[in-house]
Amino acid sequence: MPHTVAALYQFVSLPDAAALQAPLLALCEKLGITGTLLLAEEGINGTVAGSAEAIDAFLAELRGGALLGGRLDDLECKLSTAEAPPFRRLKVKLKPEIVTFDGGRTDPTRGAGETVAPEDWNALMARPNLLLVDTRNAFEVALGTFEGAVDPGTRSFSEFRAYADGLDPAEQTEVALFCTGGIRCEKAGAYLKERGFAHVHLLKGGILKYLETVPEAESRWRGDCFVFDERVALGHGLEERPGHEPEETR
């Protein structure tokens, strides 16, 4: 039976993040869910897997249950499937940030840019003088990226700040950012907005939503999309793409 995989995140104030760790762990264990969840005062991030029924129940609790009290009503979630279990165990971790960047100083809830639907992304990329930037790490970019995208050459996402600091808002008047599921784009976009970039665009739902939504015949994506589980990479239609090495062997 295929496993349902949920990649999810939301930037939202969770001052009680530490108190949520144990109840979320217990909920996942009760539902037979594996994977990793990260909790911080800035929100939640993670990828988990289980039966379709278990994932449905888990997402329903996050979005509307008493545990979070409706605070995750704007949860970004991408569902896909895996033939084999994509995770070996369950981890619910408390972190300073849900994606490591600058210790939490950059707050996407104050404004990260304009989100662009996957079906409108091709038209955006065709605009003249647009700076299209892949915010992922270099080894991810090597597997696949959009035509014409800039690779900042980062080994970790926190290095993106140095790349951004080298850009001039007066010269780069329009910037488009993308990543796997959207979370890194929100942090990067918020950082650029703070530095004075007026027009920042973010691919809503990330590469995964684009690969799910845009027909392959119309796609400007080239290669495969790295994912942080044992499937390693996905292609159009979110189909598993065999033959790639896991991250730890690189």
* Residues taking part in catalysis: 179
Residue 208's H or E segment, with its range, is: helix 206-213
Q: Which two tokens stand for residue 190?
A: 């918020």
Q: How far apart are CA 239 and CA 38, in angstroms?
A: 26
Q: Which two tokens stand for residue 62?
A: 């996050």
Q: How far apart are CA 4 and CA 196, in angstroms?
A: 41
Residue 9 forms beta bridges with which residues? 45, 76
SS3 83: coil
Greatest extent of the chain over all pairs of C-alpha atoms, in Å: 54
Q: Where are the beta strands (DSSP E) in 95-216?
A: 114-116, 131-134, 144-146, 174-178, 199-203
> Beta 225-226 vs 233-234: how paired, if at all?
antiparallel
Q: Which two tokens stand for residue 90?
A: 């369950």
Residue pair 37/91 in contact by the 8 Å Cβ criterion = yes
Nearest one of 17, 109, 12 to 70, comparing CA atoms: 12
